[in-house]
């Protein structure tokens, strides 16, 4: 088993650890700034750029069970009527956005069905949602439509429906292939459902099939992880995403650990990095390329991540659904995160359910793109010079030099490149680039 040296990193997986998804931290977003978000949406001149890429995120918050490591806004207790009500609200929200002057005449570059579990919807419900949205907006010109699935919710007929709505990348959340580990961590599916769903997906013929794995789940071992990697390799997917298990405060794992006073029973960071590195190396031996801190892809025109690359380069994103996040015209905002508030504001009051927001400064926009692009494993100083008129090698000389001295990155003129040990712990390194007021604050 590959072992990696640990450098200035806690040995155990700490409760509260997080994946850096945005900047400034979500805890800085405030209800009193909501008017700034509405102003941006209502003004054609406030969009990032008339030709800037724009995406649509559709949050489908339903799951068969709640995983013990899940920290998303999901529901496992809703009936068919509840689902219909939610889809009506979601459709209405898209309709309200379509009326905003700041979005007039703009097409979606990418669309993302995330969850929860989008494949929880029946084919009938999915078609009804798409038909409803089509009254206001279409995504015929989108370069990418991604649809997340839980294997146990799929049938071949449903996969055919998912492809018919324009999906180009199917993302299967398999997480592991050991049935005991899947059950211990609260996953609803087992390995036979994974293989069956994958075979159906290949038969249906999606442009790209992505598989998700998680390194460090409760009960995992060197041998089980290696076996999971080998079985995943044998599936020959177009891309594979590998996350390292986190334990945010609002997960069942964290709550149980805090109540018992014992550490959360997941692998240490050193072990998770070693397991992720093992997977990266095995996939590289099979011809895959590491394209981010979490992703390996087959070198192919169809293996791409438009959603990721657009967002990490400052694209606008309209996030719909309960608790969804948006980024538009330099303003962050989030929807109401309670079911009742979200539905009531849309269906009873006919208004956008925006709950908190934050207008970014120009330096913050630069930092946001810098830390997100660093997740790709590299930065191009010329890009930031062209877009922001900034010399990042000078602005961030201290953290860059510190990371280089610790062996986490290499500096070569305009190119900044993370080493493998830096890439494997990138989320722990990113706060070094935060402004002082956000260095030691709660992230969410």
pLDDT tens, position by position, 321-357:
999 999 999 999 999 999 999 999 999 999 999 999 9
CA atoms of 51 and 402, how far apart (whole Å): 38
Quote the tokens at residue 196.
């069956």
Structural contact between residues 257 and 15, judged by C-beta atoms closer than 8 angstroms: yes
Residue 58: enclosing H or E segment and its boundaries? strand 54-60
Q: Where are any strands of DSSP class E within 216-304?
A: 239-244, 289-290, 295-297
Residue 14 or 172, more confident: 172
- Record the pTM: 0.93
Strand 295-297 to strand 239-244: parallel, antiparallel, or no bridges (unpaired)?
A: antiparallel
Considering only the top CATH level, what class is 377-435?
A: mainly alpha
Model confidence over 173-199: pLDDT tens digits?
999 999 999 999 888 999 999 999 999
Q: Where are any strands of DSSP class E within 264-367?
A: 289-290, 295-297, 316-320, 325-328, 331-335, 354-359
Model confidence over 120-141: pLDDT tens digits?
999 999 999 999 999 999 898 8
Q: Enumerate the CATH 3.80.30.20 domain ranges in the chain, comma separated.
A: 26-311
Q: Across the chain, which distance is largest between two alpha carbons, in Å?
A: 59
Q: What is the pLDDT of residue 248?
A: 72
Please tell me whether residue 146 adopts helix, strand or coil conformation. strand
- CATH fold, domain 26-311, is pyruvate-formate lyase- activating enzyme (3.80.30)
pLDDT tier at 424 (50, 70, 90 boundaries)?
Answer: very high
Q: Which of 311, 286, 309 is nearest to 297 (CA)?
A: 286
Model confidence over 265-323: pLDDT tens digits?
888 899 999 999 999 999 999 999 999 999 999 998 678 899 999 999 999 999 999 99
Residue 245 or 382, more confident: 382
Q: Enumerate the CATH 1.10.10.920 domain ranges in the chain, comma separated.
A: 377-435
Determine the angle formed by the axes of helices 156-164 and 123-134, rounding to 10 degrees.
Answer: 10
């Amino acid at each position: 088993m590959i072992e990696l040296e640990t450098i200035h990193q806690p040995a155990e997986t700490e409760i509260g650890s997080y994946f850096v998804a945005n900047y400034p931290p979500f805890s800085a977003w405030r209800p009193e700034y909501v008017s700034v978000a509405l102003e941006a949406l209502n003004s054609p001149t406030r969009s990032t750029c008339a030709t800037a890429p724009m995406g649509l995120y559709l949050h489908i918050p339903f799951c068969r069970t709640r995983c013990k490591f899940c920290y998303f806004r999901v529901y496992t207790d809703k009936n068919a009527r509840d689902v219909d009500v939610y889809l009506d609200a979601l459709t209405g929200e898209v309709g309200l956005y379509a009326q905003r002057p700041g979005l007039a005449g703009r097409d979606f570059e990418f669309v993302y069905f995330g969850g929860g579990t989008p494949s929880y919807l029946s084919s009938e419900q999915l078609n009804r949602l798409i038909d409803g949205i089509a009254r206001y907006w279409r995504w015929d010109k989108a370069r990418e439509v991604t649809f997340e699935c839980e294997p146990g919710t799929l049938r071949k007929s449903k996969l055919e429906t998912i492809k018919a709505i324009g999906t180009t990348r199917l993302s299967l959340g398999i997480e592991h292939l050991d049935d005991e580990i899947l059950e211990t961590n609260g996953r609803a599916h087992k390995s036979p459902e994974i293989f069956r769903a994958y075979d159906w997906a290949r038969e249906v013929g999606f442009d790209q099939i992505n598989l998700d794995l998680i390194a460090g789940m409760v009960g995992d071992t060197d041998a089980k992880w290696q076996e999971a990697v080998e079985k995943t390799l044998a599936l020959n997917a177009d891309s594979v995403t590998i996350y390292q298990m986190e334990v945010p405060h609002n997960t069942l794992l964290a709550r149980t650990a805090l109540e018992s006073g014992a550490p959360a029973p997941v692998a240490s960071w050193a072990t998770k990095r070693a397991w992720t590195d093992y997977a990266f190396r095995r996939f590289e031996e099979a011809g895959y390329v590491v394209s981010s801190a979490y992703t390996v892809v087959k070198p192919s025109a169809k293996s791409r991540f438009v959603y990721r690359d657009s967002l990490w380069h400052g694209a606008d994103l309209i996030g719909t659904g309960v608790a969804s996040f948006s980024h538009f015209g330099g303003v962050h905002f989030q929807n109401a995160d309670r079911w009742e508030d979200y539905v009531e504001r849309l269906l009873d009051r006919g208004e956008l359910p925006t709950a908190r927001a934050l207008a970014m400064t120009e330096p913050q926009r630069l930092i946001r793109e810098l830390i997100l692009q660093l997740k790709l494993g590299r930065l191009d100083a010329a890009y930031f010079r062209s877009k922001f008129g900034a010399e990042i090698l000078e602005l961030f000389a201290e953290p860059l030099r510190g990371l280089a001295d610790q062996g986490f990155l290499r500096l070569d003129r305009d190119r900044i490149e993370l080493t493998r040990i830096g890439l494997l712990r990138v989320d722990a390194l990113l706060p070094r680039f935060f402004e002082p007021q956000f260095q030691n604050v709660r992230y969410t």
